[in-house]
Each structure stands twice: as C-alpha cells, then as structure tokens.
C-alpha cells in the first residue's frame, strides 16, 4: 500500500467523521426536546448516517436522470489515486459530505 493511498483513505474517513458530526449537531439542535424513552434505538449518529446515505443516494439518482436526459456518455470507472470508482457515485458522495457545511455557511450569512 502506498502512502498516498493511506493518506487519502484517512482524509476521506476524516471527512466522513466531520460530516457525520455536523449532521448530529444539526439533528440535536432541531430536536431540543431530548430523547424519547420508547425510541432509544434511534441515536443522533444513526440518524446522521441514514441522512448521509439517503442524501448521497438522492443526489446520485438526480444526476443519473440528468445525464440520461442529456444522453451523456460517462466512463463506468475512473481512477482516483489507487481506487477505481464510479464517477457519479463519487461526486454524489462528495456533495453529500459537504452539504451540512454549506448549510452552516448559508445560515451564517
């Protein structure tokens, strides 16, 4: 394994962590009432992870419909450092990761 791969993997994991942490913070701020005793299985982390995956999936579907409508030919795989990924999925996941930070910037304005 190369150092570039390890560092890029750590950077992606750090970005996922910070994105999830920001989503947890937003969820807690929205639900100031606290925890419901009967729904103790639902945690802010699990809600944030579900939100992240759902957001990435929604962006992915929207982009696929858009590219299909325009009849654009996209490569099936692209190489990012030493990983081969689907480009639309990678863009969707990246946009979902930065979404809570963009919301924070918009709310500060």
End-to-end CA distance of the chain: 43
Question: What are the pLDDT digits (tens) for 51-83?
Answer: 999 999 999 999 999 999 999 999 999 988 788
Question: What are the pLDDT digits (tens) for 19-39?
Answer: 888 888 887 777 776 555 454
pTM beyond 0.85: the answer is no
Cα distance between residue 5 and residue 8, in whole Å? 5
Give the total residue count for the chain: 109
Residue 43 near residue 20 (C-beta atoms within 8 A): no
Neighbours of 78 (CB within 10 A): 13
Q: Provide the pLDDT for residue 33.
A: 61
Q: Is the pLDDT confidence value at 85 over 50?
A: yes
Q: Provide the pLDDT for residue 46.
A: 85
- Six-digit token string for 36: 């419901």
- Give percent helix, percent strand, percent coil of the chain, each to the nearest 5: 70, 5, 20
């Amino acid at each position: 394994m190369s150092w570039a791969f390890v560092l890029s993997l750590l950077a992606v994991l750090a970005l996922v962590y910070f994105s999830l942490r920001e989503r947890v913070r937003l969820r807690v701020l929205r639900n100031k009432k606290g925890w419901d005793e009967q729904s103790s299985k639902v945690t802010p982390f699990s809600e944030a992870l579900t939100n992240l995956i759902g957001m990435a999936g929604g962006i992915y579907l929207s982009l696929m419909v858009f590219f299909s409508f325009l009849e654009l030919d996209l490569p099936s795989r692209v190489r990012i450092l030493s990983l081969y990924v689907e480009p639309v999925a990678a863009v969707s996941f990246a946009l979902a990761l930065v979404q809570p930070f963009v919301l924070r910037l918009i709310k500060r304005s």
